[in-house]
Amino acid sequence: MTNQLTLFSSNEVALSFLAFCVILVGCEKKGPVTVPVHGTLTFNGGPCPQSGTVHFAPLHAAEGLPLRPGSGDFDVDGTFEVTSFELGDGLVPGTYRVRIECWEQYPGDFRPGVSYVPEKYEPEQLVIEDDTHEAVEVSYDVPPKL
């Protein structure tokens, strides 16, 4: 049995490097452009009474982009980061209806839920411009239930 040492020519090394670069470029993020969105939530100016979720339902997408919902979970500190495709990626540019979900008692099979959010409360629509290049920060203050 003989030991053989194989040396690669400079052409083989160059081709291997080129193939690696092509694979690396092919692994870039695919899909529509998203804008990072994060924010804070308060209830009547104070902390959140419970953890919950902020939902972003698309009403209109920027030209050539898909309608894609997003959401962000918050804890009692009220901070959240929005996800549409991958964790923390944000929202596709467009206009969104905002809905906040925070339950005192979760809905069950035969019982309605009790929400900390007033039934008719709907925050202002969120618009993410298609030329936005920086993260968008939002804040919502949920009014008290009457």
The CA distance from 142 to 80, in Å, is: 15
- For residue 62, what is the DSSP state? P
Inside any domain, residue 53: yes
Contact 84, 91 (CB under 8 A): yes
Domain that holds residue 68: 37-142
Helix/strand/coil for 16: helix
pTM attached to this predicted model: 0.78
The CA distance from 100 to 140, in Å, is: 9
Inside any domain, residue 109: yes
Count: domains in the chain:
1
Inside any domain, residue 68: yes
Inside any domain, residue 10: no
Tokens of 26: 């092919």
Q: Each residue of 102-139: pLDDT tens digit?
A: 999 998 888 899 999 999 999 999 999 988 889 999 99
